Structure 1
């Protein structure tokens, strides 16, 4: 236990000195303040009806992208500076090294989430008023948004801990998060396809032509639709889109799926890292 505390203290100390961490935290503070200001101006000009709830969870799109870079560089520095080998020489257990890095990365992701929300609330309250949604629902959304971020962080930690090359680690983490987001966008677009095209009419050479309601060939149905629905809820990319727009239907499932991803990736990462040949 004492070894774990030492590892965590060293990691947190290094994190607090990490310039990228503070740059990303500042970016989240800026974005958290920017959205309420833009919405306030839009409400004045267009009477759009934006509220505090509109973008309070939009950080679900930003934070995983930022954490992918931060995690890869934070862990990659351990390898490039020789710190990883020094930890092993000092007698630290590999499993504890992995867990300590994971906890540190999760703490960083949590800080980024809180930075956005804190800034959003402080700036948005005097401009847009207080939240209009149910408090319990907002808390549940906040919790699940964090579990999604933790699941993503576990994936990035897995990649970073198993890849000794910092450049490859950065490329791998960024590629994975963009792939997840791309898959989420494609699946969401497919699920949003209407089952049929509405009937319509148009004028042709002075004659009114009426077209009947027709089936949409791009509509996803049957077993394929069930698979798409599952993947949209299970994969972090789909969750990012749903949570950021407060359009999630089964928040409880999201939390369960995030826990499964976290447990599987962490278990696999520890198993492989304990056998990894650190040159």
Structure 2
């Protein structure tokens, strides 16, 4: 499988979609820094968290990146050539996952480097402890891996690779919307309960409201986009370990389903 990974990385580094993705992730934090300069004062606080700013839309970026890169393999019959060369389908699928995951991680690293190179000289060193930043990185990697697994799964099961791009984008947009909504609902609920507790009040909820909050709570923990929102608070989440475990389980299930489909798929 090592040869497949090396071959895939070489092809990825030459691909235009990867270069565009890197360019977007480099320019986005620079735009944030540029906008922040307008209101900068001598007492302005450092731009904590700007190094993770690209995570806001990395799911959509991964959806396009994976579907285009892997879809091109099908269009150019590269997949057929790999099978004819004696590589197992399991090795092909897993190598595609590893290659695209590495590509997405590189994009995020470019965002962090670009953001820090601009923000630190202009606004000063981040006040967030380095240890705290490093603690959140496993969650960042898990978020990237979940989106990569989803995009690869969709690209594999959709026969028309031109439609695979759209399907992958629609799925990541749905995950994005669900995550943003669940984060908003859960954080507002926590704020209301905290305020009520300070005032000595008790918030009464109907059975329907309780059920809805449980559903939003599950999405809040499991959805990669809600995890991105939590990470934007620039501290290690209270349920960080639970997020990592949930992400690993999701990656395993999605990858297993995609691998099973790919092994049975009639590739033309």
- Place the TM-score, normalised by the shorter chain, in its bin: 0.7 to 0.9
2:223 matched to 1:235?
Answer: yes
Match for residue 35 of structure 1? 32
Question: Which of 267, 272, 277 pairs up with 2:261?
Answer: 272
Q: Which secondary structure does the structure 2 equivalent of 1:57 belong to?
A: helix
Instruction: Evaluate the alpha carbon distance shift between residue 12 and residue 218 of structure 1 in structure 2; reply closer, same or farther with a 3 A threshold.
Output: farther
Q: Which stretches in structure 2 are left out of the alignment for 5+ residues?
A: 196-200
Aligned to 1:89: 84
- The answer (yes or no) to whether the contact 1:57–1:245 under 8 Å persists in 2 is no
- Asked if the contact 1:177/1:237 (under 8 Å) is kept, the reply is no
Alpha-carbon spacing, 1:53–1:219, altered in 2? closer, same or farther (3 Å):
farther
Cα deviation, residue 79, structure 1:
0.8
| Number of aligned residue pairs | 260
**2:108 is the alignment partner of 1:113:** yes
Kindly name which structure, 1 or 2, has the bigger radius of gyration based on alpha carbons: 1
Instruction: Confirm or deny: 8 A CA contact 2:53 2:111 kept in the other structure.
Output: no
- Over 3 Å counting, the alpha-carbon distance change for 1:105 and 1:28 in structure 2 is same
Residue 222 of structure 1 corresponds to 210
> 2: distance between equivalents of 1:93 and 1:54?
42
How many angstroms does 1:214 deviate by?
11
Matches within 5 A, 1:1-279: 4-44=1-41, 49-191=44-186, 192-193=188-189, 195=192, 221-246=209-234, 248-279=237-268
Name the counterpart of 2:198: none
State the TM-score, normalizing by the size of structure 2. Answer: 0.88
CA displacement at 1:242 relative to structure 2? 2.0
SS at match of 2:172: helix
- The CA distance in 2 between the partners of 1:183 and 1:235, in whole Å, is 7
Alpha-carbon spacing, 1:143–1:214, altered in 2? closer, same or farther (3 Å):
closer
> TM-score, length-normalised on structure 1?
0.84
Extract unaligned runs of 5+ from structure 1. 199-212
Q: Measure the CA separation in 1 of the matches of 2:180 and 2:70.
A: 29
